[in-house]
Amino acid sequence: MAIVEAVLLGVLLGLVYATLSVGFSLIWGTLDVIHVSHGAFAILAAYLAYTANESLGIDPVLALLGIVPLFFGLGVGLYELLFRPLAERAQEVAFVSLVLTFGLAIALENLLVVQFSADPRVLQTGYTREVVDVAGVPLTTGRLVGAGLAVLTLVMVYLFLKRTYTGRAVLAVAQNDQGAALSGINERRVSAITFGVGLATVAIAGVATVMFWSFSPSEHIHWMVFVFIVTILGGVGSVVGATTAGLITGLISELSALVVPFVWVDFILFGLLVGLLLVKPEGLFQQ
């Protein structure tokens, strides 16, 4: 029973990790932007959903109908205002973007503290605390809904990239931006859309994540640890990689606790990451 529980919990957790990471991975892989404020935007989305729930009585999942388009627009705007000029001027876009978005993350965190206070919050609806029995393991409906959001997001992003013209254009830019431009792809438009999609996915991830954990403005730093692990493990720019690495991370976190002292779980996780990078430095599914 302990193994079944660990597997189920690991899968649910892994899906959340994957959804938190997929947008980050996409942005990094396509635009060479290391978006360290990714987690802060997830927290922002969580606060918006929390506020909609507490103040307006709008279910957080329904609130996403407004939050996701907002974040997509925000992503496009950020790309045009910040990252496109950066890409045109900086020689080392990745490094500069890392520093820039770190500052953006801190600024956003402080903005959230001013607006919402630093008090930790717990997202609760009429169903988040209901417990259902899945193969003999008690799981809350909140976690199942969060995992469901995660699955939907990962599938939609995958289908977008593989089955739509714009999505395939995103992949083309990620592989060779100059080649893509020569093929008639509007690289600027595609890049803006990529950033928008990245932020749209993190909005969903933010709501999904707080179905599992409490949150506060400073929590984004913790979330980014998992985002980096999953992205590097899965391979930058790969949706399948992010999904697989997320699940691996979640399963290792839960299963290893059955055989080693819990405090060693992170050691095992990072050990695996280092070991993998030595063998396959590009990650499992590098595009």
Partner 1 sequence: MAEPNKQSGKARRRRRTVLKTSGLAATGFLAGCLGSGDGGTLTLGGTLPLSGAYADTAVFIEDAYRQWEQDVNDDGGLLGQEVEVIIEDDQSEPAEGVSKLNRLISQEGVDLLIGGYPGSTAAGQMQSADENNMVYVSMGGHMKSFEQGFEYVFGAPPLMGQWWYDGFFNWLEQQPESEWPTSAAAITVDNPVGQAVYESVTENLDRLGIPFDMDERYNLPLDSAQGLVSSAESEGSEIFFANGFFGDGVQTIQAIHDTGYEPKAVLQGIGTLTPAWEAELGELGDYVVSGTSMHPDLPFEGIDRLNEIAEEEYNRGTTSEYFLFGYSWMQTLQQGVEGAGELDQGMIRDWLRNNCVETVGGEYCFDDRGLPDPIEYVTQVRDGVARLVGPEDVATHEMAYPWYEQF
The footprint of partner 1 (CB under 8 A) covers 2, 5-6, 9, 13, 54-55, 110, 113, 117-122, 124, 129, 131, 138-140, 212-216, 218-219, 222, 225-226, 253-254, 257-258, 261-263, 265-266
Distance of CA 8 to the CA centre of its chain: 20
Nearer to partner 1, 124 or 186 (CB): 124
Smallest distance, partner 1 to C-beta of residue 162, A: 30
Neighbouring CB atoms inside 10 A of 86's CB total 17
Nearer to partner 1, 82 or 106 (CB): 106
Structure tokens at 22: 């997929």
Neighbouring CB atoms inside 10 A of 162's CB total 12
Smallest distance, partner 1 to C-beta of residue 60, A: 14
Nearer to partner 1, 129 or 162 (CB): 129
| Nearest Cα residue to 108 out of 260, 234, 224, 217 | 217
* 36 in Cβ contact with 101 (< 8 Å): yes
How far apart CA 127 and CA 125 sit, in angstroms, is: 5
Long-range contacts of 256-261 (CB under 8 A, 24+ apart): 257/6, 258/2, 258/3, 258/6
Nearer to partner 1, 218 or 286 (CB): 218
Smallest distance, partner 1 to C-beta of residue 246, A: 12
Nearer to partner 1, 51 or 186 (CB): 51
How far apart CA 82 and CA 226 sit, in angstroms, is: 25
How far apart CA 238 and CA 206 sit, in angstroms, is: 20
Smallest distance, partner 1 to C-beta of residue 119, A: 4
Nearer to partner 1, 2 or 94 (CB): 2
Smallest distance, partner 1 to C-beta of residue 5, A: 6
* 170 in Cβ contact with 28 (< 8 Å): no
Smallest distance, partner 1 to C-beta of residue 103, A: 14
* 201 in Cβ contact with 153 (< 8 Å): yes
- The sign of the dihedral angle between the CA atoms of 32, 36, 39, 43 is negative
Q: What share of the chain is helix, strand, coil (3-state, %, to 5)?
A: 75, 5, 20
Smallest distance, partner 1 to C-beta of residue 46, A: 13
Nearer to partner 1, 128 or 153 (CB): 128
